[in-house]
A and B are shown apart, each in its own frame.
Chain A
Amino acid sequence: MRPNLAIQAFLGLYIFIFFLYLFGPLVIMSVTAFNSAEFPAITPWECFSFRWFNEGKIAYDGQRLAGLVTDRPLHEGIVTSLIIAAGVVTLSVPIGMAAAIVLTQVNSRLRTLFYSMSIMPVLFPGVIIGISTVVLWDRIATLGGDGFISELGRNGIFLTILGQTCFISTYCFLIFVARLQRFDTTQEEAALDLGASQSQVFMKILVPYLMPAIGSSAVIAFLASFENYNTTVFSILSEQTLTTVIASKVRLGISPAISALALVIICLTLIGAFFYEISRRSNQRKKGP
């Protein structure tokens, strides 16, 4: 189907505007990271500098504006975010896998109910998941007295892992469901006929088949956890993660150090996308045309 020239030109312009809208703000933000002025702007251009990546700057009013390297709260926030993301990945990937496998085994009446319940967390606003986790565990902590349970119930990192696992498990679940739809069950039957135990079938056939889904759901779970704000801001209590640090910085006043941080994240994303594309192409070449 080839539309005529006028429509093509219009479409081209439309797509150009769309991508300008998508990328323009990000490009401008990246540029402001190199302007030495305290306020993130392109004009007036004070001078080109890396100071927002390094030591930051002391403003005219004597306030110390930290750069990326000197920003302690930011570093601590990143470490907390990494711990939480690791916890979420270890919980949500097995949960998603278990739920997806069991979905293939239950009868169709139960399947609808089970499926609807499993995807519900995605339809809940993130703030609500955070709040419900906190109120429940605060109650558990109060009832639990002074011991271990009480400490656990008021530990922001623990609560955040639970809250995020609630909906990130659904992402993993959907990835596994998609993969399992193409699974050939006769492989399992053949293995059982040849005398393998159920555990062997699971470890030697199902898990290797699900390996790509395990990998991609781990990546998705990690990224979703790392960039989550809405749930985290409630469940983190007195701790700080990367996103809550960024949010409190933005509320206090906007600084080019945040642009610098954003640029670092953009570059990491671009590198990731680049390697993803390369690995996909080499896979395709292996399979042949």
Chain B
Amino acid sequence: MNSFYKKNGPVIATFFLVAIIFWLVFLIVIPQLYMLDLSFRPNLPPLLRGGPDDVYTLTHYKHFLYGSETSKDAYNYVDIGVFFDTIITAVLVTIINLCFCYPIAFYIAKLATPNTARLLVLALVIPFWINELLRSFAIRILFAGEGVINNILLELGLISTAVNFIALDIALYTGLTYAYILLMIFPLYNALETLDTNQLEAAKDLGSSTVRTHWRIVIPHAKAGIASGCTMVFMLTAGALATPVVLSSPNTYWFTQLIYQWFNMNDNWSRGSAYSIILLVVSVTFVLLMMRLFKVTIGEVVR
């Protein structure tokens, strides 16, 4: 600590310490710990907090598993169903994005001329800076009952009545795939760019097929990018709120919408906290799984 002050001088060192402690302790650690604590407490009005009723309880986690005490079902099928729907959809969206982006990233990184590559990268960045809500809104216009896709299909005579894409959740899945696709492409592109083209040529000269070259050389080289892209897309999809708000049908819920309901409509903050903790645990598990699977460090996942 002394050497830290000596190295930076008293003024700058104090500034560093204050900024870092403010961030790490007051913005990151304490809020999360307090939310964790709250999730184990009953839902009380603010004035009763800290009173005799404010004891640790598992009631909110039990509610997630078994439902309210008055319900007849053995388990809370609705909430658990929403939870697994969210996770499975997020995994599928991640896989689809990976397959869809890999050829593009490879093309931009290795096959395109430098000028084309720069132009394509710039073109990719533009939609990324348009608000997620507005991008979802664009998808909504396409898939609405009187929307563009329905009109085209009707015109072509492929369908006789308008298809309700929103109720079928097709709009939601398309929107989720659309929303975070660029967070898959950039890590892949950055990883592939560092691949030495000579390696590809050597593989080709030695008679390796294209598929084999990709499987044995390109994909192992890009594994940090793949891990990073998959993590980002999964986390953002599982934790998405803007896209489901715009695109989900009235009977479909996304897990974050359940959290929102407990929190804002039912005013049950501690249950909202408990559901948030469940989402957080899943997210962290996924990151750890990716790190183990691709044998990368957390520093390589987040760049």
Chain A residues within CB distance 8 Å of chain B: 1, 3, 11, 14-15, 18-19, 21-26, 28-29, 32, 39-43, 94-95, 98-99, 101-102, 105, 115-129, 131-136, 138-139, 142, 162, 165-166, 169-170, 174, 197-199, 202, 223, 227, 229-230, 233-234, 243, 246-247, 250-251, 254, 258-259, 261-262, 265-266, 269-270, 272-273, 276-277
Other-chain contact of B276, A23, A101, A127, A139 (Cβ < 8 Å): A127
The CA-CA distance from A165 to B107 in the complex, in Å, is 36
Looking at the complex, which of B65-73, B76-84, B138-146, B157-165 is the stretch in contact with chain A?
Answer: B138-146
Question: For residue A142, which residues in chain B have a CB less than 8 angstroms away from its CB?
Answer: 46-47, 49
Q: Is the CB of B141 within 8 A of A26?
A: no
- Tell me, rounded to whole Å, the shortest Cβ–Cβ distance linking A233 to chain B: 7
The contact of A265 among B130, B200, B204, by CB within 8 Å, is B130
B-side contacts of A139, CB under 8 Å: 34, 49
Contact B9 A135 (CB under 8 A): no
Cα separation A162 to B139 with both chains bound (whole Å): 32
B245, A98: Cβ atoms closer than 8 Å: no
Using known A-B contacts A123-B302, A230-B241, A258-B134, determine if residue A202 contacts B20 with beta carbons closer than 8 Å: no
CB pair B35 A135 closer than 8 Å: yes
A-B contact count (CB 8 A): 250
CB atoms of A125 and B19 under 8 A apart: no
Q: Is the CB–CB distance between B134 and A246 below 8 Å?
A: yes
B153 within 8 A of A: no
**In chain B, residues 252-286, which have Cβ atoms closer than 8 Å to a Cβ of chain A?**
256, 259-260, 263-264, 269, 272-273, 276, 279-280, 283-284
Question: Does any Cβ of A come within 8 Å of B22's Cβ?
Answer: yes
| Given the contacts A125-B256, A266-B130, A120 and B28 also touching, CB distance less than 8 Å | yes
Q: Do the beta carbons of A132 and B32 come within 8 Å of each other?
A: yes
Shortest CB-to-CB span from B152 to chain A, Å, is 9
Interface contact A254-B137, CB-CB below 8 Å: yes
**Closest residue of chain A to B282, judged by CB?**
A125
B150 to chain A, nearest CB (A): 10
Q: Does B63 contact A (CB under 8 A)?
A: no
Given contacts A18-B100, A166-B27, A174-B303, 17 further A-B contacts (CB under 8 A): A11-B107, A15-B107, A26-B127, A29-B141, A105-B8, A123-B287, A123-B302, A127-B239, A128-B276, A165-B23, A198-B7, A202-B9, A227-B131, A229-B131, A254-B137, A265-B134, A270-B126
The answer to whether residues A99 and B23 also contact, given A29-B138, A230-B239 and a CB cut-off of 8 A, is yes
User: Measured between alpha carbons, how far is A120 from B301 in the docked complex, in Å?
Assistant: 11
Contact across chains for B263 and A234 when beta carbons are under 8 A apart: yes
Contact indicator A1/B201 (Cβ below 8 Å): yes
Q: Is the CB of B239 within 8 A of A125?
A: yes
How many angstroms from the CA of A10 to the CA of B146 in the assembled complex? Answer: 33
Determine whether the beta carbon of B269 is less than 8 Å from that of A135. Answer: yes
Interchain CB contact under 8 A, B104 and A14? yes
CB nearest to B6 among chain A residues: A198
* Cβ-neighbour of A41 out of B23, B136, B151 (below 8 A): B151
Write out, one digit per residue, whether chain B residues 282-303 have a CB within 8 A of any chain A CB (1) or not (0). Answer: 0110010000000000110011
Once A19-B123, A128-B239, A233-B241 are accepted as A-B contacts, the answer to whether A122 and B302 lie under 8 Å apart by CB is yes
Number of B interface residues, CB 8 Å?
A: 92
Known contacts A41-B141, A105-B7, A230-B239; is A246 also within 8 Å of B283 by CB? no
Answer whether residue B246 sits at the interface, using C-beta atoms and an 8 A cutoff.
yes
Closest to B39 in A: A135
The A-contacting residues of B in range 81-139, CB under 8 angstroms, are 100, 103-104, 107, 110-111, 120, 122-127, 129-139
Residue of B nearest to A226 (CB): B131
| B24 at interface, CB cutoff 8 A | yes
What are the nearest 6 A-B pairs in CB distance? A125-B239, A198-B9, A132-B31, A25-B138, A98-B19, A29-B138
Q: Which residues of A contact B133 (CB under 8 A)?
A: 229, 243, 246-247, 250
| CA gap between A42 and B147 in the complex, in Å | 8
**Are A25 and B260 in contact, CB atoms less than 8 angstroms apart?**
no
Among residues of B, the one whose C-beta sits closest to the C-beta of A242 is B131
Residues of chain A lying within 8 A (CB to CB) of residue B131: 227, 229, 243, 246, 262, 265
* Chain A residues near B259 (CB-CB < 8 A): 127, 131
Contact with A along B42-55 (1 / 0, CB 8 A): 00001101000000
User: Assuming the A-B contacts A95-B20, A117-B28, are A1 and B35 also in contact, with contact meaning beta carbons closer than 8 angstroms in the complex?
Assistant: no
Q: Does B197 sit within 8 A of A, measured CB to CB?
A: yes
